[in-house]
């Protein structure tokens, strides 16, 4: 093991490798900050160019891009309420209110350090707990995944907003939207309205952009600037450093969120889009001031950002140990592994121990490179909030149209974005939370596939969803989640009175 | 009532129209889904029908609660007053919404760059920016960056407009 580790360190600290990591991180941050241009897109773009590289160089470059892109998606989330990808959807909840309150610098600082530390913690966990974590992740079969998806949705519906029923309506609306394409097991077309673009999947990136960015434009146009008053704002590095300090002073939140990110990332099919919500909810429920979450609580940003970057490490667990990608990006990396002749699976660490360890170690270096680069550019990024909205709104509109179009190249997806922009506006006017809808659309395909496979496995017997200890515990948690808040509001006055 | 709506003069008709819009959209999607898929193999529909059933229960209870609350509240304004007040508060947002729809229609007919130019200029003008130099400068800078980064470097094939030059050559912009 020592020999493998030493050889891996030697490999990673070569100047050429360090340069590749830095370039990968910078490219990843830039690409990730373009709304709709996710880590998966960026890593996929590199795949053809990586064929001429050494296998380990190609994979280290991809890991660096992955780390950079995962952070990059937080930048538009913080500054213009537009998550670069679903991984930063929970970041907007507290980061954008912080920006509107004149503290974009601190929000950026928190997101930088929480991302970096989350990524490093995940890399440490990955280095030492690769095998045990893989076995925990695979305790989750199809029935467990279905109930876990419902639990995720229920807890988000309860945690976001004041009205559980409105949250659940938004969540189930999202699940129904996600169930519009063809049946995943029989390919039977369902509600596609005759559009072939809807046959395969409902594109969730245009939906996320529509709900957050387009609906925000309708509000933003009525203001002079994102941040109305710049009198008390600090546009130097000092607020970014204040964000660093806040992150360091939240070790519990940081460790817990990074742990959640690593574990959720290790569960195939989930990933950063789910992990950031779970961490945010856990941070909110364990806070002494839960009401301030969603209104600009810095701890919400710590939770979301630490977890979504920790997913990069977690998602490598099933990819490396079992050959099953934990996320879209690691699916592309899996293709790269196979392309370069590295067969993932239990033998990977025996046959390619140095290479696998070098990939994990490169995550440390990539996160350090991220810290330096993101800190350097933060001072300049913050100034976006002072631009007049008469410039910003048309510019954001053009960028969102490109983002919606970029993923699949369909104008149809741009229409989806516009429709969900209007839906998002109506929902926000009447206090229907957007997050459960987003999560419903993201979790929908996971939940439906798990439901259908579970039913197939059991010969159409729904009792399979109550058959294991994990499912029973999850059902109890769902019940508690939904019942607890109304029960608490009825019981508390009795005791108070 | 949300904080965003406090400035709109409220009437019973307006409350019904606006508050029930999203719940009715949910119900409508459920009904359309069920009618479009009725008679398909049961296996493909177990999950979505389960989702529709839960969505219906939640939505109908919310609609009933909202209607009851509207019925119990005394409103002073008429529907026309509410709509006029709504337009006064949200007129710029309505321009952005209409501009966005026109933009997407234009993209498919005149290409991305020309459509973006037209919509950016129109939205900047409508939102109060009257300095032609600023409007032209911001639009030119944004579109130049978009062209270089997304079309030239990334190679994104955004819809483009073919322009026939006098010599017979075609240029795509």
Summarize the confidence of residues A467-493 as an average pLDDT. 81
Return phi, psi of residue A277, to 5°: -70, -45
Q: A135: pLDDT confidence band, cut at 50, 70 and 90?
A: low
- What integer pLDDT is reported at residue A378 of this predicted model? 83
Residues in chain B with CB shorter than 8 Å from the CB of A425 are: 93, 97
Summarize the confidence of residues A164-187 as an average pLDDT. 90
> Which of A219, A422, A429 is the best substitution to test chain B (most B C-beta atoms within 10 A)?
A429
Q: C-alpha distances in angstroms, A278 versus A98, A151, A281, A488, B2?
A: 21, 10, 5, 22, 26
Does residue A122 or residue B102 have the better pLDDT? B102
DSSP labels for A365-426? HHHHHHHHHHHHHHHHHGGGGGSBHHHHHHHHHHHHHHHHHHTT--HHHHHHHHHHHHHHHH
- What integer pLDDT is reported at residue A271 of this predicted model? 63
Contact A202, A178 (CB under 8 A): yes
Contact A374, A114 (CB under 8 A): no
Q: B13: pLDDT confidence band, cut at 50, 70 and 90?
A: confident
Stated as kind and residue range, the H or E segment containing B163 is strand B162-164
Contact A191, B52 (CB under 8 A): no
Worst-scoring range by mean pLDDT, A242-246, A342-346, A357-361?
A342-346
Shortest Cα distance from B2 to chain A (angstroms)? 5
- Residue B153 DSSP class: I
Q: C-alpha distances in angstroms, A115 versus A219, A375, B11, B36, B113?
A: 29, 12, 48, 45, 36
pLDDT mean across residues, chain A: 83
For residue A430, give the nearest of B2, B29, B104 by CB distance.
B2
Contacts with A248 (C-beta within 8 Å, 6 or more apart), sequence order: A113
pLDDT at A266 over 70: yes
Summarize the confidence of residues A70-81 as an average pLDDT. 84
- What integer pLDDT is reported at residue A418 of this predicted model? 95
Q: ipTM for the complex?
A: 0.90
Worst-scoring range by mean pLDDT, A190-204, A243-257, B115-129?
A190-204
The reply to whether residue A430 touches residue B19, judged by beta carbons under 8 angstroms, is: yes
Residue with tokens 């380990």, as numbered in its chain:
A56
Summarize the confidence of residues A380-401 as an average pLDDT. 84
pLDDT at A340 over 70: yes
Tokens found for residue B38: 């009725």
Q: B9: pLDDT confidence band, cut at 50, 70 and 90?
A: confident
Q: Looking at chain B, which residue has its C-alpha nearest residue A392?
A: B124
- What integer pLDDT is reported at residue A1 of this predicted model? 56
- What integer pLDDT is reported at residue A322 of this predicted model? 65
CB neighbourhood size of A80 (10 A): 27
Residue B164: beta bridge partners? B170
Rounded Cα distance between B11 and B77, Å, is 5
- What integer pLDDT is reported at residue A233 of this predicted model? 58
Biggest CA–CA distance in chain A, Å, is: 74
Summarize the confidence of residues B58-73 as an average pLDDT. 91
- What integer pLDDT is reported at residue B1 of this predicted model? 44
- What integer pLDDT is reported at residue A381 of this predicted model? 77
Summarize the confidence of residues A154-164 as an average pLDDT. 77
Summarize the confidence of residues A233-249 as an average pLDDT. 85
Worst-scoring range by mean pLDDT, A166-175, A222-231, A377-386, A469-478?
A222-231
Residues in chain A with CB shorter than 8 Å from the CB of B59 are: 169
Does residue A50 or residue B135 have the better pLDDT? B135
- What integer pLDDT is reported at residue A82 of this predicted model? 78
Q: A349: pLDDT confidence band, cut at 50, 70 and 90?
A: low
Contact A117, A247 (CB under 8 A): yes
Shortest Cα distance from B73 to chain A (angstroms)? 17
Does residue A252 or residue A404 have the better pLDDT? A252
CB neighbourhood size of A307 (10 A): 37
Summarize the confidence of residues A348-372 as an average pLDDT. 84
First vs last Cα of chain B: how many Å apart? 47
Q: Which of A6-15, A165-174, A258-267, B145-154 has the highest mean pLDDT?
A: A165-174
Tokens found for residue A389: 């909205």
Stated as kind and residue range, the H or E segment containing B164 is strand B162-164
Q: A269: pLDDT confidence band, cut at 50, 70 and 90?
A: low
- What integer pLDDT is reported at residue B54 of this predicted model? 95
Q: Provide the b/e sequence for B3-31 (b: ≥16 CB within 10 Å).
A: ebbeebbbbbbbbbebbbebbeebbebbe
Q: Looking at chain A, which residue has its C-alpha nearest residue B107?
A: A411
The reply to whether residue B99 touches residue A214, judged by beta carbons under 8 angstroms, is: no
pLDDT at A48 over 70: no
Q: A230: pLDDT confidence band, cut at 50, 70 and 90?
A: low
Q: A117: pLDDT confidence band, cut at 50, 70 and 90?
A: very high
Shortest Cα distance from B168 to chain A (angstroms)? 29
> Which of A33, A38, A172, A421 is the best substitution to test chain B (most B C-beta atoms within 10 A)?
A172
- Residue A181 DSSP class: S
Summarize the confidence of residues A405-418 as an average pLDDT. 88
Q: Looking at chain B, which residue has its C-alpha nearest residue A194?
A: B36
Q: A69: pLDDT confidence band, cut at 50, 70 and 90?
A: confident
Q: A347: pLDDT confidence band, cut at 50, 70 and 90?
A: low
Worst-scoring range by mean pLDDT, A249-253, B6-10, B122-126?
B6-10
Q: Looking at chain B, which residue has its C-alpha nearest residue A191?
A: B33
Does residue A386 or residue A405 have the better pLDDT? A405
pLDDT at A231 over 90: no
Worst-scoring range by mean pLDDT, A339-343, A456-460, B12-16?
A339-343
CB neighbourhood size of A440 (10 A): 29
Q: B3: pLDDT confidence band, cut at 50, 70 and 90?
A: very low
Rounded Cα distance between A126 and B90, Å, is 51
pLDDT at B51 over 60: yes
Q: A445: pLDDT confidence band, cut at 50, 70 and 90?
A: confident
Q: B8: pLDDT confidence band, cut at 50, 70 and 90?
A: low
Return phi, psi of residue B162, to 5°: -80, 125
**The residue count for chain A:** 497
Computed on alpha carbons and rounded to an integer, the radius of gyration of chain B in Å comes to 24
Residue with tokens 């990069």, as numbered in its chain:
A312
Contact A290, A160 (CB under 8 A): no
DSSP labels for B89-144? HHHHHHHHHHHHHHHHHHHHHH-HHHHHHHHHHHHHHHTT---HHHHHHHHHHHHH
Return phi, psi of residue B163, to 5°: -115, 125
Rounded Cα distance between A161 and B155, Å, is 41
Does residue B39 or residue A369 have the better pLDDT? A369
């Amino acid at each position: 093991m020592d020999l493998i580790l030493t050889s891996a360190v030697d490999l990673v600290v070569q100047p050429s490798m360090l340069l590749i990591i830095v370039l990968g991180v910078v490219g990843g941050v830039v690409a990730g900050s373009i709304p709709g241009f996710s880590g998966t897109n960026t890593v996929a773009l590199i795949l053809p160019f990586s064929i001429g590289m050494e296998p380990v160089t190609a994979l280290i470059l991809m890991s660096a891009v992955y780390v950079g892109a995962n952070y990059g998606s937080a930048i538009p989330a913080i500054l213009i309420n537009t998550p670069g990808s679903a991984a930063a959807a929970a970041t907007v909840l507290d980061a954008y209110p912080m920006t509107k309150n004149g503290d974009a610098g601190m929000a950026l600082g928190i997101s930088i350090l929480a991302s970096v530390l989350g990524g490093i913690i995940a890399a440490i966990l990955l280095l030492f707990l690769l095998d045990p974590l893989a076995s925990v992740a695979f305790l989750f079969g199809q029935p467990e995944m279905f109930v876990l998806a419902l639990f995720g949705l229920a807890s988000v519906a309860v945690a976001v907003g004041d009205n559980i029923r409105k949250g659940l309506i938004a969540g189930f609306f999202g699940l129904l939207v996600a169930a519009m394409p063809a049946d995943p097991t029989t390919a039977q077309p369902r509600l596609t309205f005759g559009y072939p673009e809807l046959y395969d999947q409902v594109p969730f990136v245009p939906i996320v952009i529509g709900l957050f960015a387009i609906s925000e434009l309708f509000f933003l146009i009525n203001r002079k600037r994102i941040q109305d008053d710049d009198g008390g704002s600090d546009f130097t590095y000092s607020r970014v450093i204040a964000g660093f300090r806040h992150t360091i002073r939240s070790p519990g939140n940081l460790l817990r969120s990074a742990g959640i990110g690593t574990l959720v990332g290790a569960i195939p099919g989930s990933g950063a889009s789910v992990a950031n919500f779970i961490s945010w909810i856990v941070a909110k429920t364990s806070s002494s001031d839960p009401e301030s979450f969603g209104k600009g609580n810095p701890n919400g940003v710590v939770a979301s950002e630490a977890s979504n970057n920790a997913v990069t490490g977690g998602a490598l667990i099933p990819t490396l140990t079992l050959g099953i990608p934990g996320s879209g990006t690691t699916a592309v990396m899996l293709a790269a592994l196979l392309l370069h002749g590295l067969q993932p699976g239990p033998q990977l660490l025996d046959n390619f121990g140095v290479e696998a360890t070098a990939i994990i170690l490169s995550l440390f270096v990539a996160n350090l490179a991220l810290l330096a680069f993101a800190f350097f550019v933060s001072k300049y990024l913050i100034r976006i909030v002072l631009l007049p909205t008469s410039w910003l709104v048309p510019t954001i509109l053009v960028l969102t149209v490109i983002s919606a179009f970029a993923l699949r190249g369909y104008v149809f997806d741009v229409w989806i974005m516009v429709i969900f922009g209007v839906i998002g506006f109506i929902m926000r006017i009447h206090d229907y939370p957007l997050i459960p809808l987003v999560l419903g659309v993201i979790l929908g395909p996971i939940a439906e596939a798990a439901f259908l496979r579970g039913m197939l496995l059991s010969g159409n017997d729904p009792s399979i969803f109550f058959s294991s200890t994990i499912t029973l515990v999850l059902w109890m948690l769902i019940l508690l989640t939904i019942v607890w808040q109304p029960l608490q509001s009825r019981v508390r006055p009795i005791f108070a009175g | 009532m949300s904080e965003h709506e406090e400035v709109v003069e409220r009437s019973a008709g307006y409350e019904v129209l606006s508050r029930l819009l999203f719940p009715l959209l949910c119900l409508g999607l459920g009904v359309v889904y069920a009618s479009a898929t009725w008679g398909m193999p049961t296996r493909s529909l177990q999950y979505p029908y389960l989702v529709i059933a839960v969505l219906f229960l939640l939505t109908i209870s919310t609609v009933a609660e909202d209607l009851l609350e509207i019925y119990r509240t005394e409103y002073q304004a008429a529907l026309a007053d509410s709509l006029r007040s709504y337009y006064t508060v949200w007129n710029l947002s309505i321009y952005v919404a209409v501009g966005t729809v026109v933009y997407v229609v234009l993209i498919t007919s005149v290409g991305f760059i020309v459509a973006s130019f037209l919509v950016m200029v129109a939205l900047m003008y409508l939102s109060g920016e009257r300095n032609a130099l600023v409007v032209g400068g911001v639009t030119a800078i944004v579109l130049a960056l978009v062209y270089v980064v997304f079309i030239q470097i990334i190679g994104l094939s955004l819809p483009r407009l073919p322009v026939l030059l006098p010599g017979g050559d075609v240029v795509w912009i």
